[in-house]
Amino acid sequence: METLLTWIGTLPGAIGQGFVWGIMALGLYITFKILDVADLTVDGSICTGAAVCTMLILSGVNVIVAMIVAFFAGALAGLVTGILHTIMGIPAILAGILTQLMLWSVNLLIMSGKANQPLVGFQFRDKVLISTGTNNIVKTLIILGIIILMLICALYWFFGTQFGISLRSTGNNRSMSRAQGINTSFTTVFGLALSNGIVALAGSLLAQQQGAADINMGRGAIVIGLAAVIVGEAIISKISSNFFLKLFSVIVGAIIYWIVFQTVIFLGLPSEYLKMLSALVVAIFLGVPYIKKQWFSKKAVLKKNA
Amino acid sequence: MLEIKNVSKTFNAGTINEKKALNQLNLKLENEDFVTVIGGNGAGKSTMLNAITGVFRIDSGEVTVDGQNITNLPEYKRAKYIGRVFQDPMMGTAADMWVEENLSIAESRGKHRTIKWAITKKDRERFRELLTQLDLGLENRLSTKMGLLSGGQRQAITLLMAAMQKPKLLLLDEHTAALDPATASKVLALTDRIVAENHLTAIMITHNMKDAIQHGNRLIMMNQGKIIYDVSGEEKAKLTKADLMAKFAEIAGENQESDRMLLN
Ligand SMILES: Nc1ncnc2c1ncn2[C@@H]1O[C@H](COP(=O)(O)OP(=O)(O)OP(=O)(O)O)[C@@H](O)[C@H]1O
Ligand SMILES: [Mg+2]
């Protein structure tokens, strides 16, 4: 009973993490699901968002302004990947890796050459939007919930506009899109910029939640984001194909990811194993449908031959 | 209307796979011409359409539409003037998007895509009317995923989409090849109607001699990247399947002859 209560005690923190990473995963959803591009820029741009936001707050800028600037810094990173990919013809994955590497230097420069810039302490209490860890968790959850709701509504609206559906068709069928007069290079670059802007926005919240910007905070971010996207999809795709719900499912996926994560820690798994665990979860979710298909078609062939 | 002047295209130039797909091709279309194109596999028919739409850059020559040189325009800009239906029913539409979304994408072709909400109630009414005219029972499937429709239904909608912004030029690349005979003739009838009603200039590639003869006002035959036979008007009207078969046999002989000369 007592352990159950302690476990329940970990839930608000996990939900808080899930909210922030859910925002990150919404950004990833745009590239991975809508544009059908595997974009590895995000491991760098989430840190860019954290770094920009932290440094601006440290220099006395209003937190909302700092977060907006962080969004545009991330969008700029996406723009670079997009240009590498469309104008220079570099495969998307490699373009993302190149930008990610560039961002390592850029992020260090932003953080004045330090690998870690703390954002904790009494003097910041009124200068941040959300508190560190589980301090003031209710307020944090409400604020994050509002941000998420606004973001999902904005994305739902955007992808229903004439320009927005041209982004969706770009990801769905590039040659058809061009035949319908869509500049697919432009839509791809725009999508990459928008995606990384949102990821950087999540980074700016992550810095506040963790109480620091850290040069390593983006490592493996794409895996966590992907886990949220595919777990969410696995749940919602059975129920509905409504776009609003699909966006919403990404947040649900992120929350589930973090609850599982906290539970595994709670059960005593040493934290060294956690990245391994995340990667395995993603590998299994991505791989099982494929294997299932292979296996079933083989069975069908065997049956026919028998 | 459309003019193709001395257009050449060689794939994989300088490699062992070098292939001269278009060889100094010339073609001139008048307004409201409806040309059917026949020719063996690899004759360069699809490559000709790709050269017109700008899928790749041509090696030499010029393409003009209504006097405007479009040779250097990117594919998405040419789309303003050109509607296109592909052989593969999957190619012409976005399979994971709804029917109404596909129609809306086609309706904005050649226009600036704004951040206005794409599909209003009024649009939906208009789309439903258009689909009713197809007579394929699609009018109540506006919010069905395109990929769930049959090949014939998809080609019919692609045709509708290609004609939606009233293009100067409609290009059809074996667009009924993947369909069963009954559906194919339905889609062909629809093609005739759309071309006639909108006064379009059209090019239709087909492997079906009968269709090539029955449709359009002009017929061309391609071989090795060139037009080797070109009939229109009266002469085309009198054309029979036997004439075309004879022509094919003649070319096959010539091709063999030139292969032998190359080998010697
Ligand atoms: N993208 C490409 N890369 C390399 N070779 C190509 C390419 N497209 C076409 N070819 C070659 O150019 C030649 C002409 O091809 P094309 O597709 O135009 O023929 P087609 O007349 O449409 O034939 P079919 O009736 O089989 O569709 C063929 O030999 C083909 O292999
Ligand atoms: Mg072809």
What is the per-residue pLDDT for A287? 85
Side-chain half-sphere of B173: how many Cα atoms within 13 Å?
A: 20
Closest CA to B44 of B225, B199, B240: B225
Q: What is the pLDDT of residues A151-201, one digit of tens each?
A: 999 999 999 999 999 999 999 999 999 999 999 999 999 999 999 999 999
Facing residues of B170 across strands? B83, B202
Task: Give the pairing type, strands B19-29 and B2-11.
Answer: antiparallel
The phi, psi pair for B87, rounded to 5°, reads -65, -45
What is the per-residue pLDDT for B264? 62
CATH 3.40.50.300 fits B2-262, yes or no: yes
What is the per-residue pLDDT for B137? 87
For residue B98, the 8-state DSSP code is B
Q: Distance from CA of residue B77 to its chain's centroid?
A: 17
Q: Which positions of chain A have pLDDT values less than 50?
A: none
- Percent residues over pLDDT 90 in chain B: 78
Q: Are B9 and B22 in contact (CB under 8 A)?
A: yes
Q: Which positions of chain B have pLDDT values less than 50?
A: none
Q: Give the pair of three-digit tokens for residue A253.
A: 């996926």
CB B46 less than 6 A from any atom of ligand 1: yes
Q: Give the pair of three-digit tokens for residue B85.
A: 């239906």
Domains of chain B by residue range:
2-262
What is the per-residue pLDDT for B225? 93
Q: Which of B101, B113, B168 is the best substitution to test chain A (most A C-beta atoms within 10 A)? A: B113
The Å distance, Cα B195 to ligand 2 centre, comes to 21
Q: What is the pLDDT of residues A51-64, one digit of tens each?
A: 999 999 999 999 99
What is the per-residue pLDDT for A238? 81
Q: Give the pair of three-digit tokens for residue B164.
A: 């939606």
Hey, is A118 helix, strand or coil? strand
Number of neighbours of residue B250 by Cβ within 10 angstroms: 13
Closest CA to A207 of A127, A103, A105: A127
B115 → closest Cβ in A161, A169, A180: A161
Q: What is the pTM of this model?
A: 0.92
A172 and B113 within 8 Å at the Cβ level: the answer is: no
Burial A187-217 (b: 16+ CB within 10 A, else e): bbbbbbbbbbbbbbbbbbbbbbbbbbbbbeb
ipTM of the complex: 0.90
Chain A hits for B101, CB-CB cut-off 8 Å, are 165, 168-169
Q: How many angstroms separate the CA atoms of A26 and A201, rounded?
A: 11
Mean pLDDT of chain B: 92
Ligand nearest to the CA of B221: 1
CB B41 less than 6 A from any atom of ligand 1: yes
Chain B hits for A182, CB-CB cut-off 8 Å, are 76, 79, 105, 113
